Structure 1
């Protein structure tokens, strides 16, 4: 299997990821030297969203290239590393519902 394979949309591997692997992946506290979690919430235009998606694609390509560049190293010198890059139009419903519902009161 290629290290940079692409999942079939709604295929068995993607379903397995959504059902089981996703929860295990995010069970980490992301506090060790080999981990990093960055969560940003911003408002973007469609144009900026698409620009950022292109930048994510470029970063994914660089990540894949690093793996290829190090493919000659002994297996003990490398560790499995998974990066998840995502962007979507989204508001956390529990947080933002009170702001969008004129009948709710903010206390």
Structure 2
């Protein structure tokens, strides 16, 4: 049981941590407003003033499928950890593929020896990579080529920053080069006419699915490397129809969302 006096004294940090988690999971002010049954303006005011009751904080936690104790843990971890990198650090990562690969694998709990055994990276180059990642505060570089991750649980890349732009560029050109009929593969496509409310409900389900993916990812970290393999999912929803259809729509019948 977390003492109430502690929670109230740390309320600002709690709210800031919660806001970062909501942003990470794509939960908008509008979704929070609907969940709390208050106006969107009221939600924005609550986050700007941090004037949340503990009960409301617990209620908002439901949107990212965590308990209040998980939020407190994320807050405490965030005080000592890295929640985001600078734009300059992200640019450095995407300009050096071996460095980016090393960061990606370490974040996924590979050891240095496992990386060296599986990838063609020279040991001296690896040491330079580790020094650079330590400088970026992604890891602590420890004696014996050991590392300790410094990324907080609510870590996120810069919105539309170098990392996101890099992966967005390669998703369409590489990720979808598959018939998605092999073991472990699945592709789904759905299209229909939805209301704004239904669209928001879909967004909420997608963010919960992402949270479930993250939960499974953390749980599988205890397994041996041979029992795990790289897995990626792409979740997206948007008001959209085929451009060739939209080209035939009368100008006065153009849809706005």
What is the DSSP-based 3-state SS (H/G/I as helix, E as strand, rest coil) of the residue aligned with 1:10?
Answer: coil
When the two chains are superposed, the root-mean-square deviation of aligned CA atoms in Å is 2.0
Structure 2 equivalent of residue 42 of structure 1: 192
1:31 aligns with 2:177: no
Tell me the TM-score normalised to structure 2 length.
0.36
What is the DSSP-based 3-state SS (H/G/I as helix, E as strand, rest coil) of the residue aligned with 1:24?
Answer: helix
What is the DSSP-based 3-state SS (H/G/I as helix, E as strand, rest coil) of the residue aligned with 2:216?
Answer: helix
Which protein is richer in helix relative to its size?
Answer: 2
Structure 2 equivalent of residue 86 of structure 1: 236
Q: Which of 205, 210, 227 in structure 2 is aligned with 1:55?
A: 205
In structure 2, distance between residues paired with 1:89 and 1:32: 30
Gapped runs of 5+ residues in structure 1? 103-107
In structure 2, distance between residues paired with 1:20 and 1:56: 22
Larger Rg computed on CA atoms: 2
In structure 2, distance between residues paired with 1:49 and 1:78: 34
Cα distance per residue 1:29-71 (max 9 Å; x no partner): 1110210000101111000111111111111111111111111
Gapped runs of 5+ residues in structure 2? 1-102, 109-152, 252-257
In structure 2, distance between residues paired with 1:60 and 1:15: 20
Q: Number of residue pairs matched?
A: 101
